[in-house]
């Protein structure tokens, strides 16, 4: 089908908050520096739900959502040399052009050309969509749109992985799991025996806890308002659970009291600015490091006393766990293949493509971490 339009099934979001509809769509061939992928497995991330609900951002419909997935290259466009048909890959919501200052820096993964853009619904090359139905365009999402049997992605947003890797497992490494785990391992960098606090025990927070476990943390304190997450968190290394609702003083004060002056590292995964402040103020003076992962509302303000910085506490932010998509994600997959990390415990549900709306229901009810959607079911 190289060079030809492909007709396939896609789950189309026609309007905010309404169930996705399985439609037959046309997927145009890849253009310059693009690849067309056959998606085999995809999973639902909270970001998909957030933009489906269209709360707090510019709504763009009709749209094909989805950005955590695994598949194979069907065809490549002009100028693509590092990928070829048949390659097993993970599409990623952010990219790596390899040429800009960020890509050439060992310290950054925020590519000038391909970094995440939630408002863009077209391809960078020509400002047009590759999806259509009855001659009308359907917009892309995060440059990936994996809720479709076939999708077109910029080649810089595709990580070529081990051909033996099971896509129904490693597909979850293309977003949330890598984000949380990388925030701990690559940014917070706890040393063996240190104490770590993780704010928010959804999939990203549990991945951050998993990173702390891998690093050899002696205590991993999980903070969440949902009491039901306490037992589940133990599977990811959490040794103590704290619910802020059980205390009549700021949670940072509770944690400082629990840890003889504060934790060595903290990772915030909620996007709530009060939790961000607590995560910073609960780390120990002299060496404590707090890492912000959650995305706040655009008008939120972070307020703390300057003395907290002067007392040698460090505050950092991170994006996608500081992983470069094409350079680093294949290595994360190898860690799974070598049994250095586990992903199975993040996968709580499986559904067929025709039942994709069940995945949304499970996440909205707080019953799933990651739900795998099998495209050919």
**Residues annotated as part of the active site:** 45-47, 67-68, 97, 100, 103, 111, 115, 175, 370
Residue whose C-alpha is closest to residue 88's, from 74, 106, 105: 74
DSSP annotation of 340 reads S
Q: Which residue has the tokens 């309404």?
A: 18
Q: Label residue 212 left, alpha or beta by phi (over 0 means left) and psi (-120 to 50 means alpha).
A: alpha
Cβ neighbours around 312 below 10 Å, total? 11
Runs of H (alpha helix) within 302-355 = 307-310, 325-337
Torsion angle, alpha carbons of 235, 237, 240, 245, to 10: -60
113 touches 156 (CB < 8 A): yes
Contacts for 308-314: CB closer than 8 Å, 24+ residues apart: 308/280, 308/281, 311/285, 311/286, 312/285, 312/286, 312/287, 312/288, 313/280, 313/283, 313/284, 313/285, 313/288, 313/289, 314/283, 314/288, 314/289, 314/290
236 touches 210 (CB < 8 A): yes
């Amino acid at each position: 089908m190289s060079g030809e339009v492909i007709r396939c099934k896609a789950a189309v979001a026609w309007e905010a908050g309404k169930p996705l509809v399985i439609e037959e769509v046309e997927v145009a061939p890849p253009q310059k520096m693009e690849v067309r992928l056959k998606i085999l497995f995809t999973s639902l991330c909270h970001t998909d739900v957030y933009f489906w609900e269209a709360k707090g951002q510019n709504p763009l419909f009709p749209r094909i959502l989805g950005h955590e997935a695994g598949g194979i290259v069907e065809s490549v466009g002009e100028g693509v040399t590092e990928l070829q048909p048949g390659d097993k890959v993970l599409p990623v919501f952010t990219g790596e052009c390899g040429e800009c200052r960020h890509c050439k820096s060992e310290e950054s993964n925020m590519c000038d050309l391909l970094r995440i853009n939630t408002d863009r619904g077209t391809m960078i090359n020509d400002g047009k969509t590759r999806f259509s139905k009855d001659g009308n365009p359907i917009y892309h999402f995060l440059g990936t749109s994996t809720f479709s049997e076939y999708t077109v992605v910029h080649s810089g947003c595709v990580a070529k992985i081990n051909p033996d890797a099971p896509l129904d497992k490693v597909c979850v490494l293309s977003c949330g799991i890598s984000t949380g785990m990388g925030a701990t391992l690559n940014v917070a960098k706890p040393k063996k025996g240190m104490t770590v606090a993780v704010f928010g025990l959804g999939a990203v927070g549990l991945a951050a806890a998993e990173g702390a476990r891998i690093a050899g943390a002696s205590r991993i304190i999980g903070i969440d308002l949902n009491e039901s997450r306490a037992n589940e968190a133990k599977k990811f290394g959490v040794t103590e659970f704290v619910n802020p609702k059980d205390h009549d003083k700021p949670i940072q004060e509770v944690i400082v009291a629990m840890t003889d002056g504060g934790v060595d590292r903290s990772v915030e995964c909620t996007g709530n600015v009060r939790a961000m402040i607590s995560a910073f103020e609960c780390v120990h003076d002299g060496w404590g490091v707090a890492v912000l992962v959650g995305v706040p509302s655009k008008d939120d303000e972070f307020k703390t006393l300057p003395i907290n910085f002067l007392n040698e506490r460090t505050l950092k932010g991170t994006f996608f766990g500081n992983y470069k998509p094409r350079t680093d994600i294949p290595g994360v997959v190898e860690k799974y293949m070598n049994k250095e990390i586990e992903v199975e415990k993040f996968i709580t549900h499986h559904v067929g493509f025709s039942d994709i709306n069940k995945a949304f229901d499970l996440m909205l009810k707080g019953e799933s971490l990651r739900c795998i959607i099998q495209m050919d079911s």
